[in-house]
Structures are given as structure tokens and as C-alpha cells.
Amino acid sequence: MEFLVASAVGTMTAGGVYLLLRLRTFPVILGLALLSYAVNVFLFSSGRLAIDMSPILSKYGEASYTDPLPQALVLTAIVISFGMTAVLVMISLGAFLEADSDKIDIDETDANEDVAK
């Protein structure tokens, strides 16, 4: 089980990084989304895996619980990463509409034009 989670985290990280290194905005956004998944699962897994031990206190005597702290951290991380993705989407959309190109790198020619300005 641990291996499955770890390999999933690894695969998503690899995929995320690869897409992050692409040259257009949309793949980069997808890459970031993948990387967010990977990071969230990674953080979550740092509390160790547990089955049927939800951190909901039982009314009926003693029970064991999984580590609630990483879950709390990841919960806000999920929401914040949505906010981050949204900002990124808006910025790339704006850049595309303004420049009519969704390339993320500044070309040599563009850079020269900027200097000329």
C-alpha cells in the first residue's frame, strides 16, 4: 500500500515537472495542478497511512486515530492551490489575450524589441 502511494506521488511529480517545463501556458498550468496533487498527497502521507481510523473522535470508548495534523494542513493546501491555479489561469489568459501568444518564454527577438522600446 505504501509503495502504491509513494509511486503515485513519484509519477505525478514526474509528470508535473515535465509539463512544467513545456513552453506554453496551458501545459504549465496542468503541470502545476499535477504537482499540487503530488505535494498534497505527499504531505498527507507524511502522517503515515491508516485504514478505518478517521480522526473523528468516537463516542464509544477507546479507538485509535490517524494523524489529523497533516490532514488539516493538506485541507487548506488544497483550497489554496485552487486559488493559486486560478490566479495563474487568469494571468496566462491575460497574457495570451494581450500578446496573442501563449508562449511562456520571452524570445530573443521580443527581448530585443523591449530593449529598443
* Residues in 54-113 that interact with other proteins by CB under 8 A: 54-57, 59, 65-69, 71-72, 74-76, 78-80, 82-87, 89-94, 96-98, 100, 102, 104-107, 110-111
Can you tell me the distance from the alpha carbon of 51 to that of 72, in angstroms, rounded to the nearest whole number?
A: 17
| Touching other proteins, residues 22-41 (CB under 8 A) | 22-27, 29-30, 33-34, 37-38, 40-41
Which CB atom, from 52 or from 61, has the smaller least distance to other proteins? 52
- Grid cell listed for 18: 515535465
CA-based end-to-end distance of the chain: 58
Are 40 and 85 in contact by the 8 Å Cβ rule? The answer is: no
Q: How far is the CB of 62 from other proteins (least distance, A)?
A: 12
Q: How far is the CB of 63 from other proteins (least distance, A)?
A: 10
71 Cβ contact partners less than 8 Å away, ≥ 6 residues apart? 44, 47, 55
